Structure 1
Amino acid sequence: MDTATSSDGTAIAYEARGEGPVVIITGGALSVAADAAGLAGALADRGFRAVTWDRRARGSSGDARGSTPDREVEDLAAVLDAVGGDAAVLGHSSGAVLALYAASRGVPVRALFLSEPPLRFGEDEPAPDLAERLQRLVDEGHPDEAVVTFQLENVGLPREMVEGMRASDQFAALVPLAQSTVYDTRLVAQVSTPDERMLGVRVPVTVLRGEQTFPLLIAAADRLAAEMAGAELVVVPESVMHRPDPAATARVVAERLGKN
């Protein structure tokens, strides 16, 4: 992977594949760049240069402890600059929240594709001390408990599902990402109700969601699209339960960026 340097000196790892207009894929909670490989491949097949990256405290990227949402904005800006400074951003889940927040704070993107952002608009918000408790668990050497607590209290998964996940072989890959749960919690809590700058970004915005996904995400996507002047809501039937279908999502991007 290549490396961009964020404003605070943190190394941010990214990888590009394909040739053409740049689309930066920004992943959600407990994900790394490799998790978007299928989507990157589908975009490359459509004639794009698809960029995946490890958000801070994930994968091959570094971390400056005490990170804030604005630090993550600087991370995205660093990746954008490293790949030429002209790109659309496709964000999924908390990555969609980050993409929208970054664009509203002046990061120059060509277009936004926001896939199932977990915005709550002030309803059923997690406990206000959740980020603090997650940080304490990480600091005290219990990253596994931080991941579980995040899944239960922030994502809202049923305890049986979380316990089943904890018993699976895949759980071990999530534990090293525990610090990132603190950052995702801070990010979404800070902008869970989008402010006027976020709702008024002056680039084309496409909000995507599946037909079958979590009710919170359906409500969030529909409301965000309704409150953003000129935003388009696209329901992608192939995307199921918060998993964007690579081929279908790439098709939506290509149609709106003139690569169909």
Structure 2
Amino acid sequence: MDKKTVSRDGTSLAYRRTGQGQGPVAVLVSGAMSTGATMAPLAAALSDRCDAVVYDRRGRGGSGDTAPYAVEREVEDLAALIDAVGGEASLYGVSSGGALALRAAASGLPVRRVAAYEPPYAVYEGGERERAEYTDNLTEALAQGRRGDAVELFLRLTGLAPEMIASARQSPMWPGMESIAPTLAHDNAVMGDGLVPHDLLATITVPVLSVSGSASPAWLREAARAIAQAAPRGTYHVLEGQTHAVEPEVLAPVLADFFAA
């Protein structure tokens, strides 16, 4: 990240703008356990048609993390970024970053359009109870300083097999995951009770594109469809053969068409 801006509460935010300076501006919002660098391949894939802005969400990478945390502070972070790159932009978020992008659009920020890829809202029986149990266990693990256990809780929530989690704990990437484990609480707060926020989505006045992959679990596809149905100007799009780890080269043309419309 080669640029900095400051959020309303004084938190420093690191970001980078990629593109030709002529297309629509889109701020890309990463999900849990990731930094702005995670979005760099998508920014590169968009760069011939859009000015893509990637940033480190608070508590990650080159950005600060002023206490106390609140979801509203992350919305203010997006407001500061939008102001820094021209005063108006579209938003794209992946997973819980998609939930944050939708919240920001509903808050009245100068957002032209908003796209989200598979925010993990629970639309299956027992989903709300599972989210509440995860919240309790995550809160306890972080309060006790058990960052590794917090990461494991998150990986279990995503459905990762126990043997893969055990392997991850021995990998070189594990210390980096533990370093940003406290931000799991941020993403959990962004997700609210874990259910599709129909009332919030109904207040979004700009076009909403909700995207899922045909190879993703059925509940993620249903959540994405529900988002499009709840937003007054919502559209649902399925990317054939894609999973939750969507390929940037497949997603980019769909986003570029949407942002340029």
- Report the TM-score, using the length of structure 1 for normalisation: 0.90
Instruction: Give how far 1:121 is off.
Output: 4.9
Instruction: Give how far 1:130 is off.
Output: 3.8
C-alpha distance in structure 1 between counterparts of 2:64 and 2:251, whole Å = 29
1:94: which partner in 2?
Answer: 96
How many residue pairs match? The answer is 256
The answer to whether 1:241 aligns with 2:243 is yes
| SS of equivalent residue, structure 1 residue 222 | helix
1:108: which partner in 2?
Answer: 110
The answer to whether 1:141 aligns with 2:145 is yes
2:11: which partner in 1?
Answer: 10
C-alpha distance in structure 1 between counterparts of 2:216 and 2:194, whole Å = 22
Deviant stretches of 4+, over 6 Å: none
CA RMSD of aligned residues (A): 2.0
User: Residue 220 of structure 1 aligns to which amino acid in structure 2?
Assistant: A
C-alpha distance in structure 2 between counterparts of 1:84 and 1:189, whole Å = 30
Instruction: Give how far 1:150 is off.
Output: 2.0
Distance 1:223 1:131, change over 3 A: same
Instruction: Give how far 1:245 is off.
Output: 1.7
Distance 1:122 1:57, change over 3 A: farther
Instruction: Give how far 1:201 is off.
Output: 0.7
User: Structure 2 matches for 1:1-260, cutoff 5 A?
Assistant: 1-18=2-19, 19-20=21-22, 21-45=24-48, 47-121=49-123, 123=125, 124-125=127-128, 126-128=130-132, 130-131=134-135, 133-153=137-157, 155-190=158-193, 192-237=195-240, 240-258=242-260
CA contact (8 A) 2:198 2:230 kept: no
Instruction: Give how far 1:171 is off.
Output: 2.2
C-alpha distance in structure 2 between counterparts of 1:55 and 1:190, whole Å = 21
C-alpha distance in structure 2 between counterparts of 1:190 and 1:105, whole Å = 18
How far does the alpha carbon of each residue in 1:46-99 deviate from its partner, in whole angstroms, 9 at most, with x for none? x21110011111111111233111111111111111111111111100010000
CA contact (8 A) 2:198 2:227 kept: no
| SS of equivalent residue, structure 2 residue 4 | strand
C-alpha distance in structure 2 between counterparts of 1:29 and 1:137, whole Å = 17
C-alpha distance in structure 2 between counterparts of 1:4 and 1:139, whole Å = 30
Once the two structures are aligned, what percentage of the paired residues are identical? 35
Instruction: Give how far 1:35 is off.
Output: 0.9
Distance 1:122 1:75, change over 3 A: farther
Q: Give ranges in structure 2 of 5+ residues lacking alignment.
A: none
| SS of equivalent residue, structure 2 residue 180 | helix
| SS of equivalent residue, structure 1 residue 134 | helix
